[in-house]
Amino acid sequence: MTQPALSLSHSPSDLRAAFAADVRAGLTHAPQKELPSKYLYDEVGSALFEVITVLPEYGVTRAEERLLTKHAAEIVEHLPHDVTVAELGSGSGRKTRRILEALCKKRPTSYCPIEISRSALQLCRRELGDIERISIVGYERDYLAGLAEVSKQRKDGERLLVLFLGSTIGNFGRLAATRFLRDIRNMLAPGDALLLGTDLIKPTPKLIAAYDDAVGVTASFNLNLLARINRELDGDFPLDAFEHVARFNPDARSIEMHLRAKRDLTAHVRAAQLTVSLKAGETIWTESSHKYRAEELPAIADGAGFVCSHQWVEQEWGFAESLLVARPASLTHT
C-alpha cells in the first residue's frame, strides 16, 4: 500500500522573495537580459510542458520512456540492494514509473521527488501513488537543497539513487553542468548512484522544431513566464508585445529559447522594485538546452567524481541514459 505523501516546502513569502530577486538580477543583466528557466514551471507552465512532451515534434520524453521501459529491470540490477530514490525535477513522474516499479518488485522503496513546483509534486503523487510498496515524500525545494535534506535523513547502510532525467542537465552550460554534477557528488557517499538522462545532438531542423512546434504550445509555455511575473510579482509586461524565438547555437551545441520584443516597451515589476525597458528586437533569454554526444559523457562524469558504469542509448530520436557511480573521495578530482 502507498503511504501518505508529505510535502516539505518553503513559505510562500520566501519563494516570492527569491523569485523577485532572480527576476531583478536577470532583467538587469547586461548585455543580455535573462530569466532562470526554473521559473517556467509554475502550475500553468508545468501543465503546458506536459502537453509539449506529447507533441510530435518533441521526441525527448518518448525516447526516454522507451529506454526506461526496455531497460528498467537491467538498470535496477546494477543498483545496491537498499536504495532511497531522490529525483531532481520529477515533473509529473510519468517517466520515472518504470524504474520505481522495477525497484518495488524487489523491495519496498522510498521515493523523494524534488521540485520547485508544488503543482508538479501533486501531479507526481497522482501519477505514481498506485505503485505497490512505495512511500512518497515530496520536497518543494531547489535541487541541491532538496537533495541535501534527503541525504541527511538516510538510514545507516542505505544507498541513494539520484534520478536526473529528461535531459534537464542540458539547461546548464558545459562547465556549469560539471560543477553541478560535482555538487551532487559532494552530497553522496561512495557507491551511491546517479542516473543521468541526456538528449543527444541531432540535425538542426529537428532540434528547432522540437522547441518551436507548429501548434505554438512551446511559445505559450515561454510567454507564460512573463505572465507569471505579472501574476505573482505585480508586473505589467504586455504579452502581445513579445514573440517566442528558438535558435541553435552551434558553438555551444545548444538550443536557446528567447522572448523577443516586437516593439519598444517599458514594463514594471513592482515586487522586484524594477522598471525595465526593451528595444524592438531585443530579447530575454529564458532557457538553453545543451545537446551531448554519448561518448563524451564518461569523461564528464569522471571530472565530477563519478564512474560511468553503464550507458543505454536510444537510436530512433537520439537519447542516452548513463548510470554514474560515486567514486571514493580519495579518487575524486578537485
* Per-residue model confidence as pLDDT tens digits over 113-138: 999 888 888 889 999 999 999 999 99
Q: For position 33, what pLDDT does the model report?
A: 98
Instruction: Examine the domain organization and report whether 158 and 247 are in the same domain.
Output: no
Classify residue 91 as left (phi > 0), alpha (psi -120 to 50) or beta.
left
| Residue-number span of the structural domain to which 306 is assigned | 60-202+292-329
* Rounded CA separation 227/240 (Å): 11
Q: Evaluate whether residue 157 is within a structural domain.
A: yes
Tell me: pLDDT of 5 over 50: no
Average pLDDT over residues 304-322: 97
Q: For position 15, what pLDDT does the model report?
A: 85
Number of domains in the chain: 2
Beta strands 159-164 and 193-199 are: parallel
Percent of the chain with pLDDT over 90: 84
Q: What is the mean pLDDT of the chain?
A: 93
pTM: 0.91
* Positive or negative: CA dihedral 122, 124, 129, 133: negative
Of 177, 165, 183, 201, which is closest to residue 71 (Cα–Cα)? 165
Q: For position 230, what pLDDT does the model report?
A: 98
Of 300, 195, 201, which is closest to residue 249 (Cα–Cα)? 201
Average pLDDT over residues 38-44: 93
Instruction: Examine the domain organization and report whether 175 and 212 are in the same domain.
Output: no
Instruction: Examine the domain organization and report whether 109 and 147 are in the same domain.
Output: yes
Q: Evaluate whether residue 37 is within a structural domain.
A: no
Instruction: Examine the domain organization and report whether 210 and 302 are in the same domain.
Output: no
Instruction: Examine the domain organization and report whether 189 and 127 are in the same domain.
Output: yes
Of 51, 108, 52, which is closest to residue 85 (Cα–Cα)? 108
3-state secondary structure of 173: coil
Instruction: Examine the domain organization and report whether 73 and 164 are in the same domain.
Output: yes
Q: Evaluate whether residue 106 is within a structural domain.
A: yes
Q: Evaluate whether residue 145 is within a structural domain.
A: yes
In sequence order, the 6+-apart residues with CB closer than 8 A to the CB of 320 are 197, 198, 200, 292, 294, 297, 311, 312, 313, 314
Instruction: Examine the domain organization and report whether 65 and 18 are in the same domain.
Output: no
- Report residue 157's pLDDT band, with 50, 70 and 90 as the boundaries: confident
Q: Evaluate whether residue 47 is within a structural domain.
A: no
| 172 in Cβ contact with 89 (< 8 Å) | no
Q: Evaluate whether residue 243 is within a structural domain.
A: yes
Instruction: Examine the domain organization and report whether 151 and 277 are in the same domain.
Output: no
Q: Evaluate whether residue 189 is within a structural domain.
A: yes
Classify residue 191 as left (phi > 0), alpha (psi -120 to 50) or beta.
left
- Report residue 330's pLDDT band, with 50, 70 and 90 as the boundaries: low
3-state secondary structure of 195: strand
Question: Crossing angle, helix 43-52 and helix 118-128, to 10 degrees?
Answer: 50
Average pLDDT over residues 132-149: 94
Instruction: Examine the domain organization and report whether 227 and 322 are in the same domain.
Output: no
* Per-residue model confidence as pLDDT tens digits over 44-86: 998 999 999 999 999 999 999 999 999 999 999 999 888 999 9
Q: Evaluate whether residue 55 is within a structural domain.
A: no
Instruction: Examine the domain organization and report whether 270 and 308 are in the same domain.
Output: no
In sequence order, the 6+-apart residues with CB closer than 8 A to the CB of 312 are 67, 70, 71, 74, 75, 320, 321, 322
- Report residue 2's pLDDT band, with 50, 70 and 90 as the boundaries: very low
* Rounded CA separation 124/10 (Å): 19
